[in-house]
A and B are shown apart, each in its own frame.
Chain A
Amino acid sequence: MIRPLEIAALASIITALVFGFLAPTDVVQGTVQKIMYVHVPSAWLAYLAFMVTLVGSVGYLATKNLAWDRRAGASAELGVLFTGLALVSGSMWGKTTWGVWWTWDARLVLTAAMFFVYLGYLALRRAIDDPVRRAARVAVFGILAVVQIPLVHFSVTWWRGLHQPPTVIRPDGPQMDSPLLFALLLSVVAFTTVYAALLRRRIELAELEDLLAAARLRADVVAGAAVTAPPRLGGTP
């Protein structure tokens, strides 16, 4: 069943697409600049998703409620997805503007490192079946992993590289023309709505996965338990 949040996500994506195409083309970069409407929201969503993972991790350790762990895990998956999207869209943008798919720029390298940190987080989740035994371990890692976020964010300030410094969130205000900024903000809203819709679905799926895992753990696993007596013919077993 489609929910109002999912309808809102679809509507906001369509609106953002329309405004993205209608926004003026950049004088220097041309049409390729429109990758910004995917790249920037993806990077923002990666930060948001990993911060939600942090909150979920702290929440689990404080309350021992598995609902927090499910939120953390679901958000980390989406964070990895959006980080991957930011890397791929950034690479496509870089090829047309810098002439290379990849360069050893601090922002790029540290974003890739963040991607692998959270892949590690997901690998740790997959390595443990029991939700209760898993939750504490991944919560600790989820807290520790967040150190990557300020590193990635401030990398463009700490190192001079090809990646441009912040243009929207700056002390002296955004350095972008209003129509472009409006289209960008619409994209950010749209991506955030999609994230919220996906997060909700993923949390529900995680609840079902935990129930299944708990049922499996409760099941009799004694050797030979799978072998049962054949039913008697013509009578009740």
Chain B
Amino acid sequence: MSVLGQILVLLKADLRAERRAAEVTMIIVPFGAVALLVIPMALGADTVLLSRLAPGLYWVVLLLFGLSVTQRQTATTAPAHGESLRLLGVDPAARFGAAAMANTALLLVFAVIMGSVAVFLYDPQLAHVAWLVLLLPLAAAGLGMIGALTASLAAGLGSRTSLAPLLAVPLSIPVLLAGAQTMEGMRQGTGILRWMLLLGLVDVLVAIVGVLSARPLEDAAA
């Protein structure tokens, strides 16, 4: 089977497992929504201020709670499943690709739902929203690939649950910056091209590192 075929099979398995477990839709999405609901209780009910802060808060929630999406137990992260895939000769790059694509798809769903919640709760000033069609998939892909990579770096370690977020969050800062600055640029009608380029550049860089490092990481985990 070709690498692309392997990716598709693993991706389907991962999304099927998520559909059965509904971890993202039934647990992480409500958790993120609660965060957006709780923040004004700490900041105060100043609707003008909250409307102004909404895009930034949205990106912080997307980054932090998106981590829960990328660090969830997937169809291929259990040690026994990993061993089986290795014995079956599945390309490690295909495993990374499938994990990154599943993360991206689920993060995109998460981003859209959180965006709707943020608009409902905070009533932010939005302009040029058509750019979101490009921005959100690029950001989801960046966060998804960083999440897949850091999950494989911390796989099998005793401190995995605390270590993976420490590795992923600071690395995701370029995505957070580019996303928030693009939204600010859309609101003010100023240039957003350089931020989109930064986002694209980060995506390409992480994709290259992820694909090239897949085999050494699998060998190290063996």
Contact = CB atoms under 8 A, between A and B. Distances in A.
Interface in B170-222: 170-171, 173-174, 177, 194, 202, 205-206, 209, 213, 216-217, 219-221
Given A127-B157, A127-B159, A140-B153, A145 B216 contact: no
B167 A120 contact: yes
Interface string A135-157: 11101110111011001000000
A158 B153 CA distance: 32
Nearest to A116: B170
B149 interface: yes
A140 B166 contact: no
Nearest to B206: A144
A140 B174 contact: no
A117 B209 contact: no
A217 interface: no
A17 interface: no
Contact of A144 (B149, B219, B220): B149
A110 to B, nearest CB: 7
A141 B174 contact: no
Main secondary structure of the interface of B (DSSP, over half): helix
Contacts of A116: 166, 169-170
Contacts, number: 73
A140 B170 contact: no
Given A120-B167, A123-B166, A127-B158, A113 B173 contact: yes
B213 A61 contact: yes
A133 interface: yes
B149 A120 contact: no
B119 interface: no
A185 interface: no
Contacts of B174: 147, 151
Contacts of A137: 153, 217, 220
Given A117-B171, A135-B220, A140 B209 contact: yes
Nearest to A112: B170
Given A133-B220, A136-B219, A136-B220, A141 B167 contact: yes
A117 B170 contact: yes
B154 interface: yes
A18 interface: no
B163 interface: yes
Contact of A123 (B163, B173, B205, B209): B163
A56 to B, nearest CB: 14
A124 interface: yes
Given A119-B166, A120-B167, A127-B159, A141 B153 contact: yes
A128 interface: yes
Contacts of A147: 171, 174, 202, 205
Interface of B: 149-150, 153-154, 157-159, 163, 166-167, 169-171, 173-174, 177, 194, 202, 205-206, 209, 213, 216-217, 219-221
Given A123-B159, A136-B216, A144-B171, 17 more contacts: A61-B213, A110-B173, A113-B173, A123-B163, A127-B163, A133-B220, A136-B213, A137-B153, A137-B220, A139-B213, A140-B213, A140-B216, A141-B153, A144-B209, A145-B171, A147-B171, A147-B205
